[in-house]
Amino acid sequence: MPFPSVDDQDPPGWQLPLLLFAGFRSLIDELHAHLATRGHPDVRPVYGFAMQAIGVHGASASEVGRRLGVSKQAAGKTIDRLDALGYVERVDDPRDARSKLVRLTPRGVDCLQQSAEIFERLRADWVAQLGADRVRVVESSLRTVVPSGIFPVDVPGWFG
Amino acid sequence: MPFPSVDDQDPPGWQLPLLLFAGFRSLIDELHAHLATRGHPDVRPVYGFAMQAIGVHGASASEVGRRLGVSKQAAGKTIDRLDALGYVERVDDPRDARSKLVRLTPRGVDCLQQSAEIFERLRADWVAQLGADRVRVVESSLRTVVPSGIFPVDVPGWFG
DNA sequence: TAGTATCGACAACCACGTTGTCTAAACCGT
DNA sequence: ACGGTTTAGACAACGTGGTTGTCGATACTA
């Protein structure tokens, strides 16, 4: 018996990443479906992560890049699109003439607040389907197993 | 009490997608770290999904696109790169002069076999950390909650 | 004060996705 | 058997997100 810890009844190992991704994707898709009906039809998943990285207090483009785990140039491009969509604005940083502070507009703040509410509802949907204990097991298991700390969100570049 | 199903002890809803993604990402990263030490250093995550879609029997580019949930043009481009890397080859389809059959080379088959073995080991690592029952709960919970059937893998385009 | 580090901007490039157009071949109903 | 429709794959143009490299201006520091 070469693999004593693997039960024959268990699914093959390659299903695990697929299931995790499918769960992630379905949550994000549902988020954006709801967001679209609440005045935010053109927000892409990346934009949500970027706004989260900007935060309510604002941040510089370089800082956003650091938080997202991407280069400052990549962060700058995303901020450009967020700016064009009216979700952020750039203002001069009074404490550093090189830097510009990226701040969420009221529209950006609204998007973030709505996202938080929608995620709360989506988690509640999972609880309704699985029971509170199973959802907690999923969460705590993942917390145990993922390397803590890091959180790079350069999904397109990382994956492809 | 507006949210009777939500316990105050529960984590905020936005953590769930982040944890799922972190789990997915850590598995994929570990897969490619192992793959790199076994003769496949330049395989990107997308390539693995594409080779999986091609399968051991081969498939046309259009069929690969359908299985992956992307356009035939996008599938064709990915196959180009796989071809350049020596993981697949295109041969004329004897039964359809329009079509070319994309087949895995021995190198491609090897990559797929190694991936399956590595995923098995990674799942065994999770079992060692969490116990077999918790891993099964994670898997069955996700199976319950994700919409079945569909599986689009157009990650970069979808996310960004 | 001089040297170094960082900011943001710009350019060039790559990867992955899209839509649209085109030719050739297969399929199907008359 | 033929003619219209569908499908395969190639090619082009483009959008978006990532990269590196360069640059001038500003801040930090020895």
| Mean pLDDT in consecutive groups of 10 residues from the start of chain A, 160 residues | 58 94 95 96 95 96 96 97 97 96 97 97 98 97 85 80
pLDDT at residue B4 greater than cutoff 60: no
SS3 at position B43: coil
Distance in Å from C20's C1' to B70's CA comes to: 16
Q: Nearest-CA residue to the C1' of C24?
A: B98
The architecture (CATH level 2) of B22-140 comes to: Orthogonal Bundle (1.10)
State the pLDDT confidence band at B3, using cuts at 50, 70 and 90.
very low
Scanning the structure block, which residue is given the tokens 């790169």?
Answer: B81
**More confident call, B156 vs A124:** A124
Query: Is the pLDDT reported for residue B151 higher than 60?
Result: yes
3-class secondary structure, A104: strand
pLDDT in tens, B83-131: 999 999 999 999 999 999 999 999 999 999 999 999 999 999 999 999 9
What is the least distance, in Å, from the CA of A74 to any CA of chain B? 12
Question: Half-sphere exposure of B83 toward its Cβ, with a 13 Å CA cutoff?
Answer: 13
Residue B123 DSSP SS3:
helix
Min distance A91 CA to chain B CA atoms (Å): 25
- Over residues B134-157, the mean pLDDT reads 87
What single-letter DSSP state applies at residue A87?
S
Using the beta-carbon criterion (under 8 Å), do B116 and A158 form an inter-chain contact?
A: no
Tell me which residue of A160, A150, A85 sits closest to B159, measured CA to CA. A160
Beta bridge partner(s), residue A91: A101
Q: Residue B157: is its pLDDT beyond 60?
A: yes
Whether B100 CB is under 7 Å from strand C? no
Q: What is the CB neighbour count within 10 angstroms for residue B132?
A: 17
Q: What is the DSSP track for A1-12?
A: ---TT--TTSPP
pLDDT tens digits, one per residue of B59-92: 999 999 999 999 999 999 999 999 999 999 999 9
Opening angle at CA A118, ends A115 and A123, nearest 5: 125
What pLDDT is recorded for position B8? 64
What pLDDT, on a 0 to 100 scale, did the predictor assign at position A6?
A: 52
Q: What is the mean pLDDT of residues B1-21?
A: 77
For strand C, is any atom closer than 7 Å to the CB of A42?
A: no
- Name the residue of chain B whose CA is nearest to A145's CA: B126
pLDDT value of residue A3: 47
Count contacts between A and B (CB, < 8 Å): 197
Q: Using CB atoms, which residue from A118, A120, A141 is nearest to B130?
A: A141
Q: Residue A78, CB, less than 7 Å from strand C?
A: no
Burial A92-102 (b: 16+ CB within 10 A, else e): eeeeeeeebbb
Q: Is the pLDDT of residue B2 over 80?
A: no
Give the chain A residue whose CA is nearest to the CA of B141. Answer: A130
pLDDT for A160 equals 82
Class of the A23-142 domain? mainly alpha
Measured distance CA(B142)–CA(B135) in Å, rounded:
11
CA contacts within 13 A on the Cβ side of A122:
27
Contacts of B47 in chain A (CB under 8 A): none
Closest residue in A to B17 (Cα) is A24
